[in-house]
Amino acid sequence: MMQTDVLVVGGGPAATWAAESAVTAGARVILVDKGYCGASGAAAASGNNLWYVPPGPKREASIRKKADQAQGLVDQEWMERVVSTTWDRLFDLSDWGYPFPVDDDGIQRRSSLQGPEYLRRMRRRIHRAGVQILDHHPALELLIDADGVVAGAAGIARQDGGRRWEIAAGAVVLATGGCAFLSGTFGTNPDTGDGHLMAAEAGAELSGMEFSTHYGPSAAWGVHTKGRMLQFATLYEADGARIDIPPGGSVRGIAMAREIAGQQVFASLEGVPENLRDMMRYSQPNYFVPLEKAGIDVFRDRYPLRMVYEGTIRGTGGLRVAGPECQTTVPGLFAAGDVATRELITGGISGGGAYNGSWAISSGTFAGRGAARFAAARGLRTAELRPDGRVGLRPERSGTAEPELADELITATQDRILPPALTVRRTGEELLITEKITDGLWQTARAELGGRTDGRDALRDRQAAAMIAHLRWITASALYRRESRSMHRRLDYPELGDQNYRIVVGGLDEIWNRPETGADERLAS
């Protein structure tokens, strides 16, 4: 069995910042990624705007403004930590050579990171710092020691015939991303909620799972959900009539309403002046490149839009953060990036835009340092490590599943979350139906799913279990929040109510909810 002080699971920004922070703190670090560290996840494929504000009155004003937008649920102290850590860490990234744009005054503009370049740099940095990177090593389960402390993980080497690996570690950082239920949104398909499932098996709590209703606009035939440039778009009906965007309205809002109504809407950037066009292209290449490949000149043509689900990636919920080092509620287990709830800094609004990028950097930093400290204090235990994975790995009735079972379970799960009519406009009635259906899916998975040896099959089984669990937490939390707040909208409770607290959820066979209490918060600060 391989051994290390800190094991980081994941390969996106939060994972690399965690690995960098742990190795710099003196820990031996192994990073295992499902895909390729540098290309995996939502950030590498896209652009990353950051919440990047200098210290002083401007920062204070930004925090105040964001706290107001968040309709409660945020934690001012956390907001300050995140924005100040992001600020500091971007100086490091600059030192490591990230090629920031420089403005006319010779100042680096650091509020945006181009995904491929950013993650390539981060990989190089952690490699040089001594982190051992294992690509195509999806983790399937945690290892727990005799004291109930997380002490490693196990998984498969999918480019090595699905060979099983086990790594003992003094502490584990989960940085496995959110979950978009394989909706296809580019960059997000590695993010199937595997980390959430592993953590929940060990007893970790989640929070904010009802804040999971975000969709992004892409071409009707595509997966490239890029919204920023669409603020400059002109919209048209299918019959060519121009759609007026009312004051306070947005392209996104209109596209979403049309999607729910089953009406196609068309967009064009025809109104953008020539002198801005190149600038836009270099700022958002993966908005323009896919459209150009499809033969669309957005500055001339109109193209149809669709809205694609972005789950808890550009939603907000995730593992509950139970301490300043991004501890989960399970000893030895830390969470960074989108696998953790971002409510502390966003409340119930989307983490897309600038929050998630800054959260990845800062939570990665906190978790990496915390895990290094935990591992140094406790030391490595390698005796009697128990593999903790269950549903999707070790079925109760082994060998009974049809080969199509995982695909069927995934499709049945997607059917209850991807349609915006179910997710954007929730009702108690539909949520109860989803609850009933997903209870059944979980029972089936528990009984039959798993035990296949091929690498892709084994991973797919586990992913299916992870997505069912994810939807069950989302559904329970959406039922529990009997009000409309931020991105969570209930048609049967259309007003903002008095649930001015975060909603905790957990459990696997039995899902439970409770309000987060003052005692929880005091522990976390």
Partner 1 sequence: MIEIVSKDRCVSCDVCIRVCPMNVFDRGADGIPVISRQVDCQSCFLCEAYCPTDALYVAPFDHPVPAGSDQADEQAQIAAGALGSYRAVLGWGRGRRNGSRLDQNHLFGVNGVGGAGGPGSGVRP
Site for partner 1 in 210-249 (CB under 8 A): 219, 221-224, 227-229, 231-232
Residue 453's nearest CA partner among 167, 156, 243 is 156
Query: The tokens 């290094």 sit on which residue?
Result: 372
Considering only residues 434 through 493, tell me which ones interact with partner 1, judged by CB under 8 A: 456
Task: Single out the residue of 4, 21, 85, 188 in contact with partner 1 (rule: CB under 8 A).
Answer: 188
d(CA 129, CA 213): 39
- C-alpha distance from residue 269 to each of 229, 266, 276 (Å): 8, 11, 11
Task: Single out the residue of 155, 290, 318, 392 in contact with partner 1 (rule: CB under 8 A).
Answer: 290
Considering only residues 327 through 366, tell me which ones interact with partner 1, judged by CB under 8 A: 349-350, 353-355
Residue with smaller CB distance to partner 1, 146 or 289: 289
Q: How far is the CB of 38 from partner 1 (least distance, A)?
A: 7
Residue with smaller CB distance to partner 1, 228 or 378: 228
Q: How far is the CB of 236 from partner 1 (least distance, A)?
A: 18
**Structural tokens at position 67:** 């706290």
Residue with smaller CB distance to partner 1, 99 or 440: 99
Query: The tokens 């082994």 sit on which residue?
Result: 398
Q: Binding to partner 1 by residue 52, rule CB under 8 A?
A: yes
Q: What share of the chain is helix, strand, coil (3-state, %, to 5)?
A: 40, 20, 40
Q: Binding to partner 1 by residue 44, rule CB under 8 A?
A: yes
**DSSP structure string for 212-224:** ---EEEEETT---
Q: How far is the CB of 187 from partner 1 (least distance, A)?
A: 5
Residue with smaller CB distance to partner 1, 332 or 455: 455
Considering only residues 73 through 92, tell me which ones interact with partner 1, judged by CB under 8 A: none
Residue 305's nearest CA partner among 270, 257, 349, 272 is 257
Q: What SS3 class is residue 197?
A: helix
**78 burial level (CB within 10 Å; 0-12, 13-18, 19+):** buried
Instruction: For residue 146, give the amino acid letter.
Output: A
DSSP letter at 27 equals -
**Structural tokens at position 270:** 């025809």
Piece of the chain touching partner 1 by CB under 8 A; list 208-216, 284-292, 377-385, 465-473: 284-292
Task: Single out the residue of 1, 55, 77, 102 in contact with partner 1 (rule: CB under 8 A).
Answer: 102
Q: Binding to partner 1 by residue 100, rule CB under 8 A?
A: yes
Residue with smaller CB distance to partner 1, 16 or 189: 189
d(CA 157, CA 453): 12
Q: Binding to partner 1 by residue 250, rule CB under 8 A?
A: yes
The continuous run of DSSP H or E covering 48 comes out as: strand 47-49
Piece of the chain touching partner 1 by CB under 8 A; list 140-148, 160-168, 270-278, 418-426: 270-278
Q: Binding to partner 1 by residue 184, rule CB under 8 A?
A: yes
d(CA 353, CA 348): 14
d(CA 157, CA 165): 7
d(CA 518, CA 525): 11
Exposed e or buried b per residue across 3-12, where buried means at least 16 C-beta atoms within 10 angstroms of its C-beta: ebbbbbbbbb
Task: Single out the residue of 10, 13, 47, 348 in contact with partner 1 (rule: CB under 8 A).
Answer: 47
Piece of the chain touching partner 1 by CB under 8 A; list 33-41, 197-205, 239-247, 432-440: 33-41
Piece of the chain touching partner 1 by CB under 8 A; list 185-193, 234-242, 366-374, 506-514: 185-193
Considering only residues 359 through 398, tell me which ones interact with partner 1, judged by CB under 8 A: none
DSSP letter at 277 equals H
Q: How far is the CB of 288 from partner 1 (least distance, A)?
A: 8
Q: Binding to partner 1 by residue 113, rule CB under 8 A?
A: yes
Q: How far is the CB of 384 from partner 1 (least distance, A)?
A: 33
Instruction: For residue 43, give the amino acid letter.
Output: A
Considering only residues 53 through 72, tell me which ones interact with partner 1, judged by CB under 8 A: 53-54, 62, 66, 69
Task: Single out the residue of 293, 404, 510, 522 in contact with partner 1 (rule: CB under 8 A).
Answer: 293
Considering only residues 115 through 174, tell me which ones interact with partner 1, judged by CB under 8 A: 116-118, 135-136, 158-159
Q: Binding to partner 1 by residue 284, rule CB under 8 A?
A: yes
